[in-house]
Amino acid sequence: MKVFIVTGSVCTGKTTLAKLIAKKHHAIYINVNELIKEYKLYSNYDKKFKSYIVDSKKLNKFLIRLIKNSRNNLVLDSHLTHYLPSKYVDLCYVTKCELKELKKRLMKRRYSKEKVRENLDAEILDVCLVEALENKHKVKVIDTTKGINL
Ligand SMILES: Nc1ncnc2c1ncn2[C@@H]1O[C@H](COP(=O)(O)OP(=O)(O)O)[C@@H](O)[C@H]1O
Ligand SMILES: [Mg+2]
């Protein structure tokens, strides 16, 4: 049983990549953001940012149980997956995208100016990559700017 996680800034191609990995490795695709809503794995809702404040302890506990109970390969899709302890994860993919293309993708999603800026900043600072490395994951970076080569 293998566990793949896919993290990265918003619109860098996590979901697209995760679904490709699921096909390639005959793994079950798991939309972690849906799980967070369905099982209320958040502590609060931030009205200003229109987003849930996720309780990462609760989320990790939930995902670890899911991993332990699974007999299939799994692909977990979310920018919060790299908070999982690395011992439960075989490979952590981090998606990246060049800023010009990323801005286009974010605007297409009709985010506010602030939200676009915030997400571009997260990509510039490599927040997910830095945190994934800090968390001792085995990391593979995939640039999706011009398509995905797995
Ligand atoms: N390799 C790619 N080439 C072109 N467009 C892509 C690529 N990967 C993703 N996109 C586009 O970028 C947007 C965001 O992709 P998505 O996979 O939903 O990102 P995320 O899950 O990280 O938010 C979508 O509109 C998608 O079609
Ligand atoms: Mg997505």
- The architecture of the domain spanning 3-143 is 3-Layer(aba) Sandwich (3.40)
Tens digit of pLDDT for each residue in 42-51? 988 888 777 7
DSSP per residue over 105-147, as a string?
Answer: HHHHTT--HHHHHHHHHHHHTTHHHHHHHHTT--EEEEE-TT-
pLDDT score of 114: 93
**What's the pLDDT band for 40 if we cut at 50, 70, 90?**
very high
Mutate to test the pocket of ligand 1, among 6, 9, 15, 16 (most ligand atoms within 8 A of CB): 16
Nearest CA to ligand 1 atom 4: 147
pLDDT > 90 fraction of the chain, expressed in percent and rounded: 92
Kindly report which listed range (11-20, 25-34, 42-51, 87-96) carries the lowest average pLDDT score. 42-51
For residue 35, give every residue at least 6 positions away whose Cβ sits within 8 Å of its Cβ, in sequence order, or none: 41, 62
Phi, psi of 40 (to 5 degrees): 50, 55
Say if residue 90's pLDDT is above 80: yes
Rounded to two decimals, the pTM is 0.95
Q: In whole angstroms, what separates CA 140 from the centre of its chain?
A: 13
